[in-house]
């Protein structure tokens, strides 16, 4: 079965050659995942980082970034692969809005390269993709966070559960608002499902983290189900203040 799968994947690469997730150009035979032009432009999250949200901080003597000192977040800790700047911001937009489903495996791989050790140490019992409203799901055809979570599950073996949180409100995009309005926008957007769970720890999965409003709202929903510790992973992290 594995040999057959490999053969099919090889055949598909000839029919649908892989493209760079950042610029969309077809990759050369010598290029893997990212084209030679985009690779040196990538901005990976570098130390020192905030011990809470995981964003880069300038002062290595501080444990928390300015945003996490200002806002008390409900999650334990977060991890992201890239800073939310060009070209990663455009790649996330393609993944999310322009049917870039094939990029899920690449982004999951980058998260594991960067934070696989941390995820293994934390050992969350379940991966929970941040849900989107059913109207958006019907229009878009997929939830990018779920695709990412399933690829992370394939690598780590941690199961995915999409039935824990329900997005009951079809909220406008968060990028339209300042931090305060973002928090109010999603404060009541998520509710716990009626599913009975035995999990005590969970890791939320999303494409972008900025102010933490969405992750906090989802964390509250999970806490309502008895999940004591919630972490998160995302492709990109941006400044939320």
Q: How many separate domains does the chain show?
A: 2
Q: What is the structure's pLDDT at 85? A: 96
Q: What is the structure's pLDDT at 10? A: 44
Residue 48: asked if its preceding bond is cis (omega within 30°), the reply is yes
Q: At what angle do helices 213-223 and 179-186 cross, to 10 degrees?
A: 30
Whether residues 219 and 108 share a domain: the answer is yes
Sign, CA dihedral 109-115-121-125, equals negative
pLDDT tens-digit map of 1-24: 445 444 434 434 445 688 999 999
Whether residues 128 and 179 share a domain: the answer is yes
pLDDT tens-digit map of 149-208: 999 999 999 999 999 998 886 565 545 545 555 555 566 667 676 777 889 999 999 999
Whether residues 11 and 69 share a domain: the answer is no
Question: Residue 99: what are its φ and ψ, rounded to 5°?
Answer: 60, 35
40 Cβ contact list (under 8 Å, min separation 6) = none
Burial class (CB in 10 A: 0-12, 13-18, 19+), 80: buried
Percentage of the chain exceeding pLDDT 90: 72
Tell me which residue range forms the domain holding 139: 42-237
Whether residues 209 and 114 share a domain: the answer is yes
- Kindly report the CATH number assigned to the domain that includes residue 224: 3.40.50
Q: What is the structure's pLDDT at 181? A: 52
Whether residues 72 and 156 share a domain: the answer is yes
Whether residues 51 and 83 share a domain: the answer is yes
Whether residues 214 and 149 share a domain: the answer is yes
Whether residues 110 and 161 share a domain: the answer is yes
Whether residues 138 and 65 share a domain: the answer is yes
Whether residues 21 and 47 share a domain: the answer is no
**Helix locations, the chain, DSSP H:** 2-15, 66-70, 88-97, 104-122, 134-140, 144-156, 179-186, 213-223
Whole-model pTM: value is 0.85
Q: What is the structure's pLDDT at 223? A: 93
- Which is higher by pLDDT, 108 or 178? 108
Whether residues 33 and 97 share a domain: the answer is no
Question: Residue 59: what are its φ and ψ, rounded to 5°?
Answer: -95, 105
Whether residues 29 and 46 share a domain: the answer is no
């Amino acid at each position: 079965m594995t040999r057959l799968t490999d053969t099919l994947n090889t055949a598909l690469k000839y029919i649908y050659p892989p493209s760079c997730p950042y610029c969309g150009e077809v990759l050369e035979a010598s290029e893997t995942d990212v084209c030679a032009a985009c690779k040196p432009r990538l901005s990976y999250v570098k130390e020192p980082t905030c011990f809470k949200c995981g964003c880069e901080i300038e002062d290595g003597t501080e444990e928390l970034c300015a945003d996490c000192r200002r806002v008390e977040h409900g999650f334990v800790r977060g991890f992201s692969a890239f800073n939310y700047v060009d070209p990663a911001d455009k790649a996330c937009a393609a993944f999310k809005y322009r049917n870039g489903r094939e990029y899920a495996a690449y982004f999951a791989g980058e998260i594991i390269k960067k934070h696989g050790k941390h995820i293994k140490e934390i050992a969350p019992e379940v991966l929970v993709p941040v849900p989107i409203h059913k109207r958006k799901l019907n229009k878009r055809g997929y939830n990018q966070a779920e695709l990412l979570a399933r690829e992370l599950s394939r690598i780590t073996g941690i199961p995915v559960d999409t039935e824990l949180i329900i997005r009951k409100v079809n909220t406008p995009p968060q990028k339209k608002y300042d931090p305060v309005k973002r928090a109010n926008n999603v404060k009541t957007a998520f509710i716990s499902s009626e599913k009975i769970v035995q999990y005590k720890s969970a890791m939320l999965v999303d494409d972008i983290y900025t102010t933490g409003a969405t992750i906090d709202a989802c964390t509250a929903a999970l806490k309502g189900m008895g999940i004591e510790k919630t972490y998160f992973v995302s492709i990109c992290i941006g400044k939320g203040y």
